[in-house]
Structure 1
Amino acid sequence: MDTTPQAGASAEPVVQWGKVSALVGGQAMAQGGSFVLLIAMNWTAVQLGGTGAVSALMLAATLPRALMLIFGGAVADVLGPRFVLLRTTAARVVVLVAGTAVVFVAEHLWQLAVIAVLDGVLLGLGGPASSGLMPQFAKREHLSRANSLYAMVLRVAPIVGAPVGAWLIAVGHLWHALLVASITSGIWLACLLYVTQGMSRPRHEPGTPLVKRSADGFRLLARNPRLRWMFIASFCLDLAFGWPVEVALPLLVSERGWGVGAVGVVIAAFSAGALGSSALGAMLAHRISLFVRLVVTGAGIAVGILVMAVMPSVVTLSVVSCLVGLLSGFNGPAIVTVYQQSAPDSKMGAAMSTLALAGIGTGPISIAVFSSLSLALGIQATWMLCGVVALISPLSAFMALRHPSLADEPAADDEAATGERAGTDEPAGGEGSGPVRTEKAAVSEPSPAPASV
């Protein structure tokens, strides 16, 4: 593996595989514990108050998290990822341990709601800082491999965590699941102590209030066309995929009399495809053209979503679902990689908060919009409409690749002639593929290089 520094660059290796492994391993534990807790809390809520209780609990967890994502990016940029992550993760361990003790005594819905709100706030504050860590340890084309490895962990977490959570509730109590989540969060905290060692806080910028900086991510989208097009690409895919998976799939299965087991088979097929391609991407992503990973796979996903609506059997629907998952395993990490490489280091937290909102914020919108349309168009026609909306994603990704990836300041050194960005060593057009970057005007004197991403 290439871990040698570039000539004339600092002694920092291109890839710090030890820290990448610790980051991915710690996140695997944390995500697995979160899914254990999610299943256990939702099932407990059903027992305490039925469907209404589950809806209230989900709102208690998701709304604070979405709101805090807006401020979480600004906080990470002002205080630094180490400061934010160590404190939010430590606070989460305290909340989960306290919740374990409280629920051990008695289980009430209001207790679950308080735990969900506090957990959502802490996850929202720490999320952008966590998302901005990987570019610190993997640079150039290897960032794609690291992000694919990270995506694989996110695929595995629900596969492992969900059944464990269900088993803990079946044979034990909610406090068992809370205890497991506390332990996995503690492991994540230990990993963070290692991977963020040596990171310093950013230079303080007086006179800029945090509320104003919370909009930095949206200001970046306004002035950086590459980020803006990638945001649209991510948003449209999530918008097009939310309603079919969460609402339309069970309705379509019921309408065709296939049985509820078909839903699980289709989702499992998608997860298997995504897991396999994420694993493949961790090894070979740097050898696959960025144009293929973004534009071609995005078009394939859109066509797959459209075709899924007309599949005549569970087998064919599962096969197409697996293929869509396979393409998603390449497309998702590529979007994250381009976003990370296109954002200036000083605004990385703000940039990642907007990308997170593109995912978290689209679920309710997708369900509300397409559920309303399905009343007039029907399930199958609305599902096909989702496929048409998804086609916007590869078009937006193509437009993004036509724009250069800019940092805080232009670097005028020998690398500029080859289209590489100083500090990140990013090849022209994004990892050596796709359209070539437009060169900036020649500068007679070298300007300071931006901070390394």
Structure 2
Amino acid sequence: MTTNSSAPSSDAAPAPDWRRIGSFVTGQAAVQCGSFALIIAMSWTAVQIGGRGAVTVVILASTLPRALMLLFGGALADSLGPRAVLLRATATRLVVLAVGALVAASADSLWPLIAVAVVEGSLLGLTGPASGVLLTGLAPQEHLGRANSLFSMVMRLAPIAGSPLGAWLVVAGSLSHVMLVSAGGCAVWLFCAFHVTRGMARPERRSDASPSLLRRSGDGLLLLGSHPRLRWMFIACFCMDFSFLWPAEVALPLRVSGEGWGIGTVAAALTAFSAGALASAAVGAALAHRIPVPVKLMVTGTGLAVGLGSMALVSSPALLAVTACAAGLFSGLNGPALVTAYQQAVPEGRLGAAMSTFSLSSIGAAPLSLAFFSALSTPLGVTGTWLLCAAVALFSPVAATLALRSPVTRKAPGTAEVSVAAEPTATAV
């Protein structure tokens, strides 16, 4: 019996490098846990030093440089490769945190916090897109959804573990202790990053006239204007982030307070949502490649929007927790699927720029959501505005549907063969 060389697709498709993916996830768990511990500790210390205004200054000192450096981080990841960006930026961050711990131990003013926040935010902005590029290199498209689900679990667990750790350390010890713990997380990530990126070569230099880093920082925005599939996936992701932040941050506490249910109801609802999201993310890590694309994008997106709206209407704390858990179940599959579909829509050689714009949309969705829906809540009320958020969330599965019907772009702008017909592999989230 002869062997058919064109036989199974499983032989042709590369298998995921689960050892390196495991190192990636382990390192990210350590560094993200340390980051959330540091955020809580710096906020608490700022309150003790200068009150609410000091907290605002520290937060802005971190978020504004991070948003700016995201654009350059994507361009650097495309030109230097993720290995160079991750190792250098993480090593620099480790040194900054170690020095910051020494300075904070002998200083009793706000300026060390601001200095650390500026450098931390800048370095996080540089490494964010590189991490997204790195993950796509570890798992083939067929299994990229599983890798993103695994990474999603880490990102959901990090604040659950890191925030209480930071609160306990800053009260029992000092901000210096938290900085040292965060530096330890960077050291773990640096060690894992060496293993994950070992053997990864620097990308070849572009054959065309090499533009400046400043010009290349806008590549992600240009990609959205040029490629319909990428643009619709970006809109799908943004709509979900934009519509979900105000209910979770503002509407939930307001409704619970108005109903007289007690602050424990807020904690129970958020915990139930996180538990549901973790459970479905675990399912996605194991089975995402076997779940049909319409289920992962359209069905879960619609279920998440309906669950979000139902949370505004339930009549008891128990029903609120159950509804939040159901919404979390949809979110744990929908979020990684949206990220995966976005990554798969990026043309060759532009993943870093695309991921920088994607990360910027998530960061920008928070203040936009809070400002926009808070202003509408005065005429519409909390319940009415909450239901409007759910209606906006319904645009996410609609945009995802339009994305999957758009052509797959294989080349960057300015090259031949800009787009081809949609292929099944491009939607295998």
8 Å CA contact 2:141–2:425 kept in 1: the answer is: no
Mark the CA change 1:9 to 1:214 in structure 2 (over 3 Å): closer, same or farther. Answer: farther
Q: Does 1:357 align with 2:354?
A: no
* Letter aligned with residue 388 of structure 1: A
Q: Deviations over 1:120-164 (max 9, x none)?
A: 000001110111111111103211111101101111111111111
Question: 2:313 & 2:386 partners in 1: Cα distance?
Answer: 9
> 2:316 aligns to what?
313
8 Å CA contact 2:220–2:353 kept in 1: the answer is: yes
Q: CA deviation at 1:207?
A: 3.5
Q: CA deviation at 1:408?
A: 2.3
5 Å-filtered alignment, 1:29-428, equals: 29-205=30-206, 206-408=209-411, 427-428=424-425
Question: 1:12 & 1:229 partners in 2: Cα distance?
Answer: 27
8 Å CA contact 1:14–1:140 kept in 2: the answer is: no
8 Å CA contact 1:404–1:429 kept in 2: the answer is: no
Q: Deviations over 1:336-370 (max 9, x none)?
A: 11111111231000111111112111100000000
Mark the CA change 1:57 to 1:6 in structure 2 (over 3 Å): closer, same or farther. Answer: farther
8 Å CA contact 1:266–1:317 kept in 2: the answer is: yes
Q: Deviations over 1:158-212 (max 9, x none)?
A: 1111111111122111111100000010110111111111122222234411111
Q: CA deviation at 1:14?
A: 2.3
Q: CA deviation at 1:106?
A: 2.2
Q: Does 1:22 align with 2:19?
A: no
- TM, length-normalised to structure 2: 0.93
Question: 1:340 & 1:320 partners in 2: Cα distance?
Answer: 30
Q: Which runs of 4+ in 1 moved over 3 A?
A: 5-13, 409-412
* Letter aligned with residue 187 of structure 1: V
Give unpaired runs (5+ residues) of structure 2: 1-5
Question: 1:147 & 1:345 partners in 2: Cα distance?
Answer: 19
**Stretch moving more, 336-345 or 284-293:** 336-345
Question: 2:89 & 2:224 partners in 1: Cα distance?
Answer: 27
Q: CA deviation at 1:407?
A: 1.9
Give unpaired runs (5+ residues) of structure 1: 421-426, 434-453
**Stretch moving more, 209-218 or 400-409:** 400-409
Q: Deviations over 1:231-251 (max 9, x none)?
A: 000001111011111111111
* Letter aligned with residue 232 of structure 1: I
- TM, length-normalised to structure 1: 0.88
Q: Which has the higher helix share?
A: 2
Question: 2:189 & 2:308 partners in 1: Cα distance?
Answer: 35
**3-state SS of paired residue (1:208):** coil
Identity of aligned residues (%): 54
> 1:451 aligns to what?
none
Q: CA RMSD in A?
A: 2.3
**3-state SS of paired residue (1:141):** helix
